[in-house]
Chains A and B, each alone.
Chain A
Amino acid sequence: KAGVTQTPRYLIKTRGQQVTLSCSPISGHRSVSWYQQTPGQGLQFLFEYFSETQRNKGNFPGRFSGRQFSNSRSEMNVSTLELGDSALYLCASNGKTGLNTEAFFGQGTRLTVV
């Protein structure tokens, strides 16, 4: 079965612009999580969506937002980009393994803000 698909793979934006990233989860998975990876802060949780509802949110400013569609595809948006938003953004598709849930990651979107 198809894996987790993130688009685009690479993106260069200018400070002050906004950006939208997309994630298509594994077929049948209803939960999608987003993570930011930077050299200084490591891998940090952004938010999770389950059945079109935000279920968990990390400690990020309101410029970071997301949504999930009825087909479980998710988008995240970053408005008013700052240089510090340059990072690898990873999407996880969460599915049941036994009683609990296992995360499967996409290839990521590498965002550079100039």
Chain B
Amino acid sequence: GIQVEQSPPDLILQEGANSTLRCNFSDSVNNLQWFHQNPWGQLINLFYIPSGTKQNGRLSATTVATERYSLLYISSSQTTDSGVYFCAVGEWDNAGNMLTFGGGTRLMVKP
């Protein structure tokens, strides 16, 4: 099956700093989503981005499908950005809705 790797595994930032989270995947995908897991465990949708670039406020994401990676940018980080960020992909030849998750990046933003 497809492999998904996220880096870095842990990241500590000072409030106001910028960061880039990376997601590499091993095969063609028909779906790529970025999530933020809140302290209660719920996965909050950030981006649905199988290709291209999107922006939402201080967050933006870029997926280069031909090179099998995606980047999540967080600018002017805030303490509320803390938590775990997951990248998840759906395999190109899978007819259903099965996501394979990366191991996550645990972000801590210090005041």
B64 within 8 A of A: no
**A110/B41 contact (C-beta < 8 A), A42-B103, A43-B86, A100-B50 known:** yes
How many residues on chain B are close to A (CB under 8 Å)? 24
Contact A94 B35 (CB under 8 A): no
List of B residues within 8 angstroms of A97 by Cβ: 48
Contact B97 A92 (CB under 8 A): yes
Contact (A103, B100) CB under 8 Å given A55-B95, A108-B42: no
Whether the pair B31, A100 counts as a contact (CB closer than 8 A) is: yes
- A94 engages B97 (CB within 8 Å): yes
User: Residues of A contacting B95 with CB < 8 Å?
Assistant: 55
Q: Contact at A48–B98, with CB atoms within 8 Å?
A: yes
Interface residues of B: mostly helix, strand, loop or mixed?
A: strand
The answer to whether the Cβ of B43 comes within 8 Å of any Cβ in the partner chain is yes
The answer to whether B97 touches A48 (Cβ under 8 A) is yes
Q: In the complex the two chains form, is B41's CB within 8 Å of A102's CB?
A: no
B97 & A90 in contact (Cβ 8 Å cutoff): no
Q: Is the CB of A106 within 8 A of B42?
A: yes
* Contact status of A100 and B42, CB under 8 A, knowing A31-B96, A42-B103, A48-B97: no
Whether B98 pairs with A33 at a CB distance below 8 angstroms is: yes
> B109 within 8 Å of A by Cβ?
no
B residues 18-55 in Cβ contact with A at 8 Å:
30-31, 33, 35, 40-43, 45, 48, 50
B residues neighboring A (CB under 8 Å): 30-31, 33, 35, 40-43, 45, 48, 50, 86, 88, 90, 94-101, 103-104
| 6 further interface pairs, Cβ-Cβ under 8 Å (given A33-B99, A104-B45) | A35-B101, A42-B103, A45-B98, A55-B95, A58-B98, A100-B30
9 A-B interface contacts by CB (under 8 A): A31-B96, A33-B99, A42-B103, A55-B97, A88-B41, A103-B33, A103-B97, A103-B99, A107-B42
